[in-house]
Amino acid sequence: MEKEKIITVKNLTKKFGDFTAVEAISFDVYKGEIFGFLGANGAGKTTAMKMLIGISNPTSGEANVAGFDVQSNSEMVKKNIGYMSQKFSMYDDLTVKENIVFFGGIYGLSRAEIKIKTAALVAELQIEDIINSLVGSLPLGWKQKLSFSVALLHEPKIVFLDEPTGGVDPITRRQFWEMIYTQAYKGTTIFVTTHYMDEAEYCDRVSIMVAGKIEALDTPKKLKEQFKVDSMNDVFLKLARNIE
Amino acid sequence: MSIKVQNISKSYKNLKAVDSVSFEVKKGELFGLIGPDGAGKTTLFRILTTLLIADEGSAAIMGFDVVRDYKSIRSAVGYMPGKFSLYQDLTVEENLTFFATLFGTTIAENYELIKDIYIQIEPFKNRRAGALSGGMKQKLALCCALIHAPKVLFLDEPTTGVDPISRKEFWEMLKRLQQQDITILVSTPYMDEASLCDRIALIQHGVVLKIDSPENIIKNYDKTIYDVATKNTHSLIHDLKNYPSQYSVYAFGEFVHYTDQENNFDRKELEKYLKDKNHTDIKIKQAQIAIEDVFMDL
């Protein structure tokens, strides 16, 4: 296999006092893959993701993201990844352009680079009309598409998306996934969480966390075969039932 | 009529959040407002629960006018806002006692009504609300909205951000409440939940696009949708969009939902086109229409 591993996780564990939020999870993610990271509320997804993006130290185990250890080299991890979530995307009281310049600066791009990137983004998303509008005045779907693009400004190897499409209208949700596909096709690895089970079907592989552990990991097709059901929704229900 | 809404409009500065919305909800009905963020659902809820005054139009809950008779409405309805708004520093039991007291009742008096739901969080009754998981918070909020035995229940996006299991359980609870003759108005951005309501209103940009039972909405949809799948979904979407007679192309779970402009659409021709584009494992079959398909075509 010539598949290049971009994330390797070995026995990654996080405890808060007596409570084990993430219990010895292990998996690999390959370059250019769309990896769906699913689980019920409270299953430990957010805790695991925080360790992978270098903002929370593991209690034990290890993870390597984009070639760097998340514990000993977390700053390099942060430089090589992009991140967006529904809760935090961009600053509402800055304009679209100001947000791009701000995040470009944060990610260490030069003024010249930011200028080029901004022009490319405007052309790609056709946003000439709203480039000077406050982000707060835009519909949610637009915000999400923009913040995905902003998370990609520094051309990260991996982008982490934490429920990027929650509450977004059905058409924009699909446009968002087309952006994800295009980006994965270009070789960017996508690590995504969602509560929409139809979106789980769009992933190359999916892991399902239950009570801190990864209980299943495979392609959507194989998971459905394994659990003898027709949809990812049923896979999810079968696996996570009676938890909490 | 439990809820009667007539030509309600509300603007915030230049934004028309709700634009001349009308609908009626019968006693004991489970009625869904289905639409994405920004559709105007929350504004409508706030108007109906007397927390906001509409610019135009009128609305009545159990015959009480939302402006003139607001006090009667407040004691007769239960409201679960979209944002978790219980006291995070109070325990589960303290929150419930607090809401019971506000409405001049006790937990014991209406225990039967909430028993089903409360029993699931009772083991954690001494835990602070802020330390509960998403699913448990949602159950507590529902108990607090029910503790005064309301006749009409308003639930604003109770399942947003909640995982599929908790969502399923939540809808089962709603069905049981409905059997106790409680009228329920619920909003959700999840189109798959529409089929669980008796009737729904599809809403976007403040405008109601359609009101009917989910079955009728699907039955009356006049286009044929095809499930299409090949080995490479990304290029499939791209190629389908370039097919000359395409009407719409939307990823839909495992398949791509394809609609053609022509009535005499020939799937063999599409198959050949996809083969020529080097697609393999081509599957084309008639699809089950979902509320989401109808919504996207409105």
Could you read off the pLDDT of B182-217 as tens digits, one per residue? 999 999 988 889 999 999 999 999 999 999 999 999
Residue A201 sits at the chain B interface (C-beta within 8 Å)? yes
Residue window 61-120, chain B: list those with CB within 8 Å of chain A. Answer: none
Residue A17 clears pLDDT 60, i.e. is over it: yes
DSSP structural state of residue B158: T
Question: How many angstroms separate the CA atoms of B157 and B146, rounded?
Answer: 16
Residue that the structure tokens 């929350």 belong to: B42
First-residue to last-residue Cα distance in chain A: 39
Residues in chain B within 8 Å Cβ distance of A220: 254
Residue B164 clears pLDDT 60, i.e. is over it: yes
- Per DSSP, what are the bridge partners of residue A28? A8
Residue-level pLDDT at B298: 87
For the segment B283-289, the average pLDDT, to the nearest whole number, is: 95
Are B185 and B282 spatial neighbours (Cβ–Cβ below 8 Å)? no
Residues in chain B within 8 Å Cβ distance of A196: 190
Phi, psi torsion values for B247, nearest 5 degrees: -105, -45
Are B148 and B99 spatial neighbours (Cβ–Cβ below 8 Å)? yes
For the segment B266-288, the average pLDDT, to the nearest whole number, is: 95
- B73-82 pLDDT, tens digit each: 999 999 999 8
Residues in chain A within 8 Å Cβ distance of B160: 166-167
Residue, of A91 and A3, whose pLDDT is higher? A91
Cβ–Cβ below 8 Å for A202 and B251: yes
Residue among A181, A182, A172 nearest A202 (CA): A181
DSSP structural state of residue A95: B
Residue-level pLDDT at B213: 97
Cβ–Cβ below 8 Å for B135 and A42: yes
For the segment A89-100, the average pLDDT, to the nearest whole number, is: 92
For the segment A10-31, the average pLDDT, to the nearest whole number, is: 96
Residue, of B51 and A138, whose pLDDT is higher? B51
Residue-level pLDDT at B165: 83
Question: How many angstroms separate the CA atoms of A218 and A231, rounded?
Answer: 14
Residue among B66, B78, B72, B63 nearest B2 (CA): B63
Residue-level pLDDT at B93: 96
- Comparing CB atoms, the residue among B36, B166, B192 nearest residue A167 is B36
Cβ–Cβ below 8 Å for A197 and B164: yes
3-class state of residue A219 by DSSP: coil
3-class state of residue B230 by DSSP: coil
Residue that the structure tokens 């696009």 belong to: B209
- B82-131 pLDDT, tens digit each: 888 899 999 999 999 999 999 999 999 999 999 988 998 999 999 999 98
Question: How many angstroms separate the CA atoms of B138 and B115, rounded?
Answer: 15
- Comparing CB atoms, the residue among B163, B192, B237 nearest residue A178 is B237
Work out the mean pLDDT of chain B and round it to a whole number: 93
Question: How many angstroms separate the CA atoms of B53 and B265, rounded?
Answer: 51
3-class state of residue A13 by DSSP: strand
Question: How many angstroms separate the CA atoms of B84 and B10, rounded?
Answer: 24
- Comparing CB atoms, the residue among B165, B189, B237 nearest residue A167 is B189
Domain architecture of chain A: domains with CATH: 5-243 (3.40.50.300)
Question: How many angstroms separate the CA atoms of B269 and A72, rounded?
Answer: 57
Cβ–Cβ below 8 Å for A41 and B133: yes
Residue-level pLDDT at A131: 93
- B58-70 pLDDT, tens digit each: 999 999 999 999 9
For the segment A117-124, the average pLDDT, to the nearest whole number, is: 92
- B227-258 pLDDT, tens digit each: 999 998 889 999 999 999 999 999 998 899 99
The burial class, CB within 10 Å (0-12 / 13-18 / 19+), for A213 is middle
Residues in chain B within 8 Å Cβ distance of A167: 36-37, 157, 160, 189
For the segment B256-267, the average pLDDT, to the nearest whole number, is: 93
For residue A97 the two structure tokens come to: 């352009």
* Residue A146, amino acid: L
pTM score of the predicted model: 0.85
Compute the residue count for chain B. 298
Question: How many angstroms separate the CA atoms of A63 and A50, rounded?
Answer: 12
Residue-level pLDDT at A88: 66
